[in-house]
Amino acid sequence: DTGVSQDPRHKITKRGQNVTFRCDPISEHNRLYWYRQTLGQGPEFLTYFQNEAQLEKSRLLSDRFSAERPKGSFSTLEIQRTEQGDSAMYLCASLSNLPPPYSGANVLTFGAGSRLTVL
Amino acid sequence: SQELEQSPQSLIVQEGKNLTINCTSSKTLYGLYWYKQKYGEGLIFLMMLQKGGEEKSHEKITAKLDEKKQQSSLHITASQPSHAGIYLCGADLMNYGGSQGNLIFGKGTKLSVKP
């Protein structure tokens, strides 16, 4: 499988617990992104990595959220002390060049997402 | 306020009918992406538009970006049940000279196609 893999696909947890999601991007893609999508909304950018460096974080990423990409390959997104408002789909994507006829354009390839439900 | 407005929010069409989904911004769109999402799944890339007046087609789906680069439309000809899903537009609102991947998305348009 050469796509973006996310694990777990579904997670149900109680408020206050910690959860961790993993993303394995397409192997040759240097840039990895995390987005969050709540019901009826479009995805919202959280953070991204260039190799192992975290280059940008959205104001949506509170102190309870931490993301890592230690070896520049897979990434983890941890949420500490989960709240009901954290219930959402967490999407991972990697960035690549688009082939012709596109010129100088990139595209995000998304994984299937990890759905979090906080009770 | 939502930076990318999509309309309609939802659409039910009879199989075989044509339909159009719109995506509008008050700011210049430097890269406009159309994705399709099945419920509970990830986003599948459809097309990307960069230049004002540009139009791209893939199978029965055509996307256009207006000359001012502030509005895009997605048109499906002779809709089929396989076209059902949520269509999302996403855009670069900064001119990076190539997407940095930090996209703003609309809320999506839910399309149902009745056989």
- Using CA atoms, how far residue A92 sits from A6, A16, B28, in Å, is 7, 24, 26
Whole-angstrom distance, CA of residue A25 vs CA of residue A96: 11
* pLDDT higher than threshold 80 for residue A97: yes
Helix (H) or strand (E) holding A23: strand A19-24
Q: Touching check for B42 and chain A: CB below 8 Å?
A: yes
Residue B111: what residue type? L
- Top-ranked range on mean pLDDT: pick from A45-54, A80-89, B91-100: A80-89
What average pLDDT does the segment B67-87 reach?
A: 95
> A104: which chain B residues are within 8 Å (Cβ-Cβ)?
97-98
Q: Determine the Cα–Cα distance for residues B16 and A28; give it in Å rounded to an integer.
A: 41
Q: What is the pLDDT of residue A115?
A: 97
User: How much is the pLDDT for B99?
Assistant: 57
**Confidence class of residue A99 from pLDDT cuts 50, 70 and 90?**
confident
**pLDDT band (50, 70, 90) for residue A42:** very high
Q: Which residues of B3-36 are buried (b: 16+ CB within 10 A; e: fewer)?
A: ebebeeeebebeeeeebebbbbbeeebbbbbbbb
Q: Which of A37-46, A95-104, B22-31, B84-93 has the lowest mean pLDDT?
A: A95-104
Q: Which residue has the higher pLDDT, A4 or B31?
A: A4
Tell me which residue of A111, A19, A28 sits closest to A72, measured CA to CA.
A28
For residue B87, give both structure tokens.
Answer: 């269509």
Which residues make Cβ contacts (< 8 Å) with residue A87, sequence separation at least 6? Answer: A38, A116, A117, A118
| Least confident among A15-24, A104-113, B79-88, B103-112 | A104-113
In 3D space, the residue among A8, A45, A50, A44 whose CA is nearest the CA of residue A32 turns out to be A50
Predicted confidence at residue B20, as pLDDT, reads: 98
Which among B101, B77, B72, B67 has a CA at the least distance from the CA of B88? B72
Q: What is the DSSP string of B13-40?
A: EETT--EEEEEEESS--SEEEEEEE-TT
Q: Which residues of B73-110 are buried (b: 16+ CB within 10 A; e: fewer)?
A: bbbbeebeeebbbbbbbbbbbeeeebbbbbbbbbbbbb
Sign, Cα dihedral of A92, A98, A102, A103 = positive
Chain A residues lying within 8 Å of B98, measured CB to CB: 104-106
Torsion of Cα atoms, B84 then B86 then B92 then B93, to 10°: 120
Q: B99 vs A95: CB contact, 8 Å cut-off? A: yes
Q: In chain B, what residues touch A42 (CB-CB under 8 Å)?
A: 4, 88, 90, 105-108
Band (pLDDT 50/70/90 cuts) for residue B95 is low
Inform me whether the pLDDT recorded for A48 exceeds 90.
yes
